[in-house]
Chain A
Amino acid sequence: MSDTLVAAYDGSAASRRAVDFALAQARTSGARLVLAHVLEWSPYSFLTPDEVAERHRRRKDELDRAQTAILGPLLAELAGTGVAIETDVRFGHIAETLAAIAREQGASQMVVGRTGESSVMARIFGATVGTLAQIAPVPCTIVP
């Protein structure tokens, strides 16, 4: 059975570096590459009645947008690389959901990018990469 790599991709330059790193690995080892994209979502946030009523449609729109605007162009670009590529788009807490994807896809390794800024915001809200370093279920490569 072939190996599986999970790379987190959110359209940013940092995540693109992670994908390129994972792609190079996958090419040499013949592994399958899963591009994971997580839409931030908390089941404990508060919604207005209107938002509740529209949520199902919005969710569909957000999933479609993730597929067409974020993953679509990348898939088109990587089409000729010869690596088997799949996508996995989910809602949830970003770090926890990435960890869940790695677990459920049976990945042997996950790859994430980091922006390299140790900003105040990241300190307050907790950087995704920092959390992953703590909770990743498989070896996690952080690409600078």
Chain B
Amino acid sequence: MTAFSQARGLAAAAILALAVPVTAAAQTLDETINQAFANSTGWFVSFIFSNFPGTTFPWIVGWLVAGAVIFTVYFGFIQFRAVGHAISLVKGDYSDPKDAGEVSHFQALATALSGTVGLGNIAGVAVAVSIGGPGATFWMIVAGLLGMASKFTECTLGVKYRNEYPGGTVSGGPMYYIAKGFAERGVPGGRLLAILFAVFCILGSFGGGNMFQANQAHQQIAGVVGDYPGWITGVIFAAIVFAVIVGGIKSIARVTEKVVPFMALLYVGAALIIILMNIGNIGWAFGEIFRGAFTETGIVGGAVGALIQGFRRAAFSNEAGVGSAAIAHSAVRTKEPITEGLVSLLEPFIDTVVICTMTALVIIFTRQLMIDPATGLYMLGENGRIVTATGASGVGLTSAAFGSTISWFPYVLVVAVVLFAFSTMISWSYYGLKAWTYLFGEGRVQELSFKALFCLFVIVGAAASLEPVIDFSDAAIFAMAIVNIIALYVLMPVVKRELGWSG
């Protein structure tokens, strides 16, 4: 048995082990899964989210930011130099009319974005500012700008090393560039690292790309229509997801894909209106953002706490360095891999620097975060979070902030959350599938078994409050970044060669 097939067997076992608890009796589903996960995966979660010794700085956040800084410097601040060229590419200025009918750069960007614009932009940012204060916004933007270089690197490689099949379909992503790229450069261990990435990617697709989304969407719906069992949401969601990814009912997906960009625009538009209506706060709000970014404002961890929250949120939201976008972009038919990389560097900008920042600004401008008038410091609740005007947190905080100015907007937000969750699920089902077929081979049976499992996890995710499971799936997504960024370090000279014109 070769090392590869051995690892393949191990991967299969790991994934089957995940699926087993699902068959447990429904009423104990929650506890069974929680227990099984807490026992078997706790060490992994604590390892991923552990801090640098003697600090409160999670090393994984440092890892992502260090990667982004190194790529930014190595490619000579590509994200600032090439942004004009990237926009021209998306507008189609360089498109060959003969290629009409192929996937355009615009479509590639929109598809990849619909995978990353999700609950992180709405709920996650609210969590970040309620822990890290307004200063987190500053660091989130910095991290978003740096992340553009990571995206550029991984997406260029995704296109360069993808597999093309005789039928005209393609499969690509980190597992392919790790395996092929390492072999090409004579670096050992590529095969093993690629398998590791694929395993993490499958786990991440079941977790952060699926269960977390289903869970949060249910919370939102229940918040509006009143509490009801989560499995109902789960079954409905699973049925729709099943119809799209197994039944090939493209119309549902197409509707979502059309509505999601519209919702994103509506969201940013509403945010701008709210900011304009509270424009009197502008000097104060930006003062708070800079004050919080560099000085003590009473939040846990001070300015460093703001930095951690901002960086962590940006990383969760735009997935730069995680490798997921490389899978999405590698399907695009383009002659120059570098053009796809340039287009992809716009993603962290739109996702983090625009959309996430809007959420943060609305919360700050509408003065949701309570300040102690005596000391000028933020008031902390017992959970270490800043006390909010309505007592809400997470999605609720974003909802309250929008609702404070536009009373009916929380209802629009519910629709947006559900649609964002759905489109993120569809995207991650594709990422997970590509990792799955990398491990088990391309084929109808392999694809169906993955898709069925994926739908099962939608129900599980919506039905239970799965803290350990969600922790684990977040950890799996970050674990993808550990493997992926190692690969990006090894392969970044290849991208530099592709870049050519910058020398």
> Roughly how many angstroms separate A44 CA and B427 CA in the complex, as a whole number?
19
A59 within 8 A of B: yes
Interface residues on A, range: 20 to 34
Q: Which of A44, A48, A62 contacts B254 (CB 8 A)?
A: A48
Interface residues on B, range: 35 or more
B382 within 8 A of A: no
Which one of A49-57, A79-87, A118-126, A131-139 contacts B? A49-57
Against A, the Cβ 8 Å flags (1 = close, 0 = not) of B61-103 are 0000000000000000000000000000000100101001111
The answer to whether A90 and B168 have CB atoms under 8 Å apart is no
- A86-107 at interface with B (beta carbon < 8 Å): 90-92, 97, 100
Once A44-B104, A57-B168 are accepted as A-B contacts, the answer to whether A49 and B328 lie under 8 Å apart by CB is: yes
The answer to whether A39 and B101 have CB atoms under 8 Å apart is yes
The answer to whether B426 and A55 have CB atoms under 8 Å apart is no
Residue of A nearest to B92 (CB): A43
Question: Hey, which chain A residues are within 8 Å of B111, CB to CB?
Answer: 46-49, 52
Q: How many A-B residue pairs have CB under 8 A?
A: 90
B331 within 8 A of A: yes
B296 within 8 A of A: no
- B274-291 at interface with A (beta carbon < 8 Å): none
Instruction: Tell me what chain B mostly uses at the interface: helix, strand, loop, or mixed.
Output: helix
The answer to whether B257 and A47 have CB atoms under 8 Å apart is yes
B8 within 8 A of A: no
The answer to whether A56 and B102 have CB atoms under 8 Å apart is yes
> Roughly how many angstroms separate A62 CA and B250 CA in the complex, as a whole number?
17
Interface centre among A43, A62, A92, by most B CB within 10 Å? A43
The answer to whether A49 and B430 have CB atoms under 8 Å apart is yes
The answer to whether B107 and A43 have CB atoms under 8 Å apart is yes
B169 within 8 A of A: yes
Question: Hey, which chain A residues are within 8 Å of B103, CB to CB?
Answer: 47, 52, 55-56
> Roughly how many angstroms separate A60 CA and B167 CA in the complex, as a whole number?
10
Residue of B nearest to A50 (CB): B430
Instruction: Tell me what chain A mostly uses at the interface: helix, strand, loop, or mixed.
Output: helix
Question: Hey, which chain A residues are within 8 Å of B92, CB to CB?
Answer: 43
The answer to whether B106 and A53 have CB atoms under 8 Å apart is no
> Roughly how many angstroms separate A51 CA and B101 CA in the complex, as a whole number?
12
A28 within 8 A of B: no
The answer to whether A44 and B102 have CB atoms under 8 Å apart is no
The answer to whether B257 and A56 have CB atoms under 8 Å apart is no
Question: Hey, which chain A residues are within 8 Å of B181, CB to CB?
Answer: none
Question: Hey, which chain B residues are within 8 Å of A47, CB to CB?
Answer: 103, 107, 110-111, 257
The answer to whether A52 and B331 have CB atoms under 8 Å apart is yes
User: In whole Å, how far is B298's beta carbon from the nearest beta carbon of chain A?
Assistant: 44
User: In whole Å, how far is A70's beta carbon from the nearest beta carbon of chain B?
Assistant: 16
The answer to whether A59 and B107 have CB atoms under 8 Å apart is no
Q: Which of A46, A50, A91 contacts B258 (CB 8 A)?
A: A46
The answer to whether A43 and B168 have CB atoms under 8 Å apart is no
- B251-288 at interface with A (beta carbon < 8 Å): 253-254, 257-258, 260-261
The answer to whether A59 and B102 have CB atoms under 8 Å apart is yes
Once A55-B333, A60-B168 are accepted as A-B contacts, the answer to whether A46 and B261 lie under 8 Å apart by CB is: yes
User: In whole Å, how far is A39's beta carbon from the nearest beta carbon of chain B?
Assistant: 7
The answer to whether B170 and A53 have CB atoms under 8 Å apart is yes
Question: Hey, which chain A residues are within 8 Å of B431, CB to CB?
Answer: 49
> Roughly how many angstroms separate A52 CA and B331 CA in the complex, as a whole number?
6
Q: Which of B115, B167, B261, B333 contacts A49 (CB 8 A)?
A: B115
B108 within 8 A of A: yes
User: In whole Å, how far is B260's beta carbon from the nearest beta carbon of chain A?
Assistant: 8
B194 within 8 A of A: no
B299 within 8 A of A: no
> Roughly how many angstroms separate A91 CA and B257 CA in the complex, as a whole number?
21
Residue of A nearest to B260 (CB): A46
Question: Hey, which chain A residues are within 8 Å of B104, CB to CB?
Answer: 43-44
> Roughly how many angstroms separate A59 CA and B238 CA in the complex, as a whole number?
30
> Roughly how many angstroms separate A56 CA and B171 CA in the complex, as a whole number?
13
A45 within 8 A of B: yes
B307 within 8 A of A: no
The answer to whether B257 and A46 have CB atoms under 8 Å apart is yes
Residue of B nearest to A59 (CB): B101
The answer to whether A50 and B333 have CB atoms under 8 Å apart is no
The answer to whether A50 and B245 have CB atoms under 8 Å apart is yes
The answer to whether A56 and B100 have CB atoms under 8 Å apart is no
Apart from A52-B328, A90-B97, what 18 extra A-B contacts exist at CB < 8 Å? A43-B92, A43-B95, A43-B106, A47-B257, A49-B328, A49-B426, A49-B427, A50-B245, A51-B250, A52-B108, A53-B170, A55-B331, A56-B170, A59-B102, A63-B101, A90-B101, A92-B101, A100-B97
Q: List 27 A-B contacts (CB under 8 A).
A: A43-B92, A43-B100, A43-B106, A45-B107, A46-B110, A46-B254, A46-B260, A47-B110, A48-B111, A48-B250, A48-B254, A48-B426, A49-B431, A50-B253, A50-B430, A52-B328, A54-B168, A54-B169, A56-B168, A57-B169, A60-B168, A63-B101, A90-B97, A90-B101, A91-B101, A92-B97, A92-B100
Across the A-B interface, give the 4 residue pairs with the lowest CB-CB distance, nearest first.
A91-B101, A57-B168, A43-B104, A49-B430
